[in-house]
Structure 1
Amino acid sequence: MQAVQFTEHGDVDVIEYGEFPDPEVGREDVLVDVKAGALNHLDVWTRRGLPGVDLEMPHVPGSDAAGVVQEVGEDVTRFEPGDHVAVLAGVSGGDDEFSRKGDPTLAPDFHIIGEHVPGVHSELAAVPEDNLAPVPDGVDWETAAAAPLVFQTAWRMLRDRGDLKAGEKVLVLGASGGVGHAAVQIAAHAGAEVFATASSDQKLSYAEELGADHTIDYSEEDFASEVRDLTDGRGVDMVVDHVGADTWQDSLGSLAKGGRLVTCGATTGGRPETDINRIFWNQLSVIGSTMATPGQAEEVLELVWDGTFEPRIRETLPMSEAARAHELLENREGFGKVVVVPDSER
């Protein structure tokens, strides 16, 4: 088969597209004929090299994909050849208390397809049965590939970890990115008043189309000061921050007393300066969140499949142009998700 791959960490020039051994199908695996994949910032970090993550090389990246079931392992019960499926990237292979509670993200052996183990940006992918969600026949492949990781992440952040309620004020940072544009839609759907940041008029206009009530160009304005002005000095009830070091202090400064900052990532660095005095004096909560349980993921995906939520696609490229796809994310070009399609499907 053909696959996106790299044999060493580095810049985009380490990415190749070429022959790779077909995957072996285990007893609990499903062999997927991949029709489309999608990128996340996780793919960029994995390619550059993550501390503590020792990959077997060559490595196939990719945590998002969708396609048709081609073959199933002998213990698989949920799928059969011909089914349409999408990948849910979080994996727990252990039989610990967290797995039994149905929350693999809390398991000691939790890992992510494409980050810790081979990914799915290839013509074929062998994926554990538990890491697939059914996709209705009418859903196009780009939507099915682009939705899972970002929508499940944003859904868990806002609804389950952040306990978002109707009428609350929510600030979403980086609203033009994958998690950000999903979070804007989920917050608006929940009945929140949504504040969104982005770096251009076009991106802010897209955020408004998806449900943002107020938009802030963070490249031109101090977003914490602007939030204070827009809320008559009160601040917001929740900040959704996946940016990290560059925004951390202003995220805390945007919160009302008793507010909560929910984070799922640190694109600009994971060791920010922090204002402890502000945290305890204003009784703020800092809440971490990673992806979602299978049940949470399938719950939000049902709202994607029925059209309630829309994964915006900024560009679709052949997998042979995966280096360009990585550049789009690194350079923050466009709004929404970048999709890659096997060259054989174009």
Structure 2
Amino acid sequence: MKAVYLTGHGGNEVVAVGERPLPERRAGEVLVRMHAATLNRVDLYMRDSGAGITHTLPQTMGLDGAGVIEAMDAEEPGLHIGQKVLVYPAVTCGACEFCQRGQEVLCTRMSLLGEHRDGTLSEYLCVPARNLVPMPEGWTFEEAAALGVNHLTAWRMLVTQARLQAGETVLIFGIGGGVSLAGLQLAKAMGARVFVTSTQQDKLDRALALGADGVIHSREQDVVQQVMRLTGKRGVDVVFENVGQAVWDSALRSAVRGGRIVTCGATTGDQPGADLRRVFIRQLQILGSTLGNLDELQALTRFCAQQGVRPLIEQTYALDDIHAALDRLASGQQFGKLAVRIRG
């Protein structure tokens, strides 16, 4: 089968497109003919170094994806051959204390597609039956693929960790990236007021068109001052943060007393100043988050179908054009998901 795979670590020279062995389906697994996947920041990390992530080269890239069931055991509840499905990217043990209480995102033996094991940028994929979720009716494979990482991450941040309520205010840093855009879409659909930041005016303009209630040009404006202007000097209920060190001080100072700061990333550094006095005097809650549980992906899929929320796809690339897609992701200029069409 044709796949995108890593032969080493470095730049695009280690990303190959070519033949890889067809995966062998075992009992309890489903063989999926993949139609689309989308790119995530971790794809760049795995290409560049993959440091700290146990993996074996060559390895097929890609965390999320969608396709059609090709082969499966005779009876798998809710699934059938020919069904369109999206992929939950975490393969978990099912036996540890966290899996037993439905928190498989904390599984002690989790292996992630495209990180610890072969991923979704291939013509075929084998995963346990529980890792597949039926696609929403009428969606493209590219849209469905995008739910599995960015939108799932944003859903857990807002719903599970921050417990966002209708009428509350949210500050989202770095609009344009996949997780931040998903956060804007979901928070608005939940009835929140949403303010976003970016260093690029065109991204702010596009965010306004998507429903943002206020925008802050973080290169030309003081984020905290603008948040206080937009909230009548109150601050926001929830800070949605995946940038890290460069914005951490602004994140802390933008939250209302008792506010929640939820973080899932540290692209600009992971060692910010703590400012502990602000944390305990203002009784701020700092919440870590990453990916989500399978039942959260199922709830997210239902919510998006009911509310008409669809991931924004900026551009779709052919499998052979993976280098151009990775370059676009690395540039940080994208507004929406970069999809890869594997078939069709």
Which consecutive unaligned segments of at least 5 residues does structure 1 have? none
Q: Distance in 1 between matches of 2:286 and 2:137?
A: 40
Structure 2 CA distance for partners of 1:193 and 1:136, relative to 1, 3 Å: closer
**1:203 is aligned to 2:211:** no
Which consecutive unaligned segments of at least 5 residues does structure 2 have? none
Number of aligned residues? 344
Q: Deviations over 1:221-268 (max 9, x none)?
A: 232222122223221111000111221121112111111110112222
Shift of residue 79, structure 1, vs aligned partner: 2.0
**1:244 is aligned to 2:244:** yes
The alignment yields a C-alpha RMSD, in angstroms, of 1.7
Q: Distance in 2 between matches of 1:162 and 1:253?
A: 17
Report what 2:271 is aligned to.
271
Report what 2:304 is aligned to.
304
Report what 1:336 is aligned to.
336
Local SS of the residue matching 2:202: helix
**Range with bigger deviation, 225-234 or 282-291:** 225-234
Shift of residue 41, structure 1, vs aligned partner: 0.9
Report what 2:81 is aligned to.
81
Local SS of the residue matching 1:171: strand
Q: Distance in 2 between matches of 1:198 and 1:294?
A: 31
Shift of residue 150, structure 1, vs aligned partner: 1.3
Shift of residue 317, structure 1, vs aligned partner: 0.4
Shift of residue 271, structure 1, vs aligned partner: 2.2
Shift of residue 164, structure 1, vs aligned partner: 0.8
Q: Distance in 2 between matches of 1:268 and 1:9?
A: 21
Structure 2 CA distance for partners of 1:252 and 1:135, relative to 1, 3 Å: same
One-letter identity of the residue aligned with 1:192: A
Report what 1:46 is aligned to.
46
| TM-score for both structures, normalised by structure 2 | 0.95
Local SS of the residue matching 2:260: strand
Q: Distance in 2 between matches of 1:305 and 1:20?
A: 35
Report what 1:111 is aligned to.
111
Shift of residue 307, structure 1, vs aligned partner: 5.7
One-letter identity of the residue aligned with 2:104: P
One-letter identity of the residue aligned with 1:166: A
- After superposition, where does 1:1-346 map in structure 2 within 5 Å? 1-73=1-73, 76-306=76-306, 308-342=308-342, 345-346=343-344
| TM-score for both structures, normalised by structure 1 | 0.94
Q: Distance in 2 between matches of 1:273 and 1:321?
A: 41
Q: Distance in 1 between matches of 2:193 and 2:148?
A: 25
Local SS of the residue matching 2:246: coil
Q: Deviations over 1:271-317 (max 9, x none)?
A: 22322222112111110112111111111112333562121111100
Shift of residue 122, structure 1, vs aligned partner: 0.7
Q: Distance in 2 between matches of 1:50 and 1:260?
A: 31
Structure 2 CA distance for partners of 1:283 and 1:34, relative to 1, 3 Å: same
Q: Distance in 2 between matches of 1:11 and 1:323?
A: 9
* Contact persistence 2:3–2:121 (CA under 8 A): yes
One-letter identity of the residue aligned with 2:57: M
Shift of residue 270, structure 1, vs aligned partner: 2.1
* Contact persistence 2:94–2:100 (CA under 8 A): no
* Contact persistence 1:37–1:66 (CA under 8 A): yes
Shift of residue 52, structure 1, vs aligned partner: 2.0
Q: Deviations over 1:47-93 (max 9, x none)?
A: 22233212110011111110110111467444221010001112211
**Range with bigger deviation, 177-186 or 111-120:** 111-120
One-letter identity of the residue aligned with 2:33: D
Local SS of the residue matching 1:338: strand
Q: Distance in 2 between matches of 1:273 and 1:111?
A: 32
* Contact persistence 2:318–2:341 (CA under 8 A): yes
Q: Distance in 2 between matches of 1:339 and 1:30?
A: 23
Structure 2 CA distance for partners of 1:219 and 1:324, relative to 1, 3 Å: farther
* Contact persistence 2:236–2:256 (CA under 8 A): yes
Shift of residue 327, structure 1, vs aligned partner: 1.6
Q: Distance in 2 between matches of 1:273 and 1:325?
A: 35
Structure 2 CA distance for partners of 1:43 and 1:203, relative to 1, 3 Å: same
Local SS of the residue matching 2:228: helix
Shift of residue 128, structure 1, vs aligned partner: 1.5
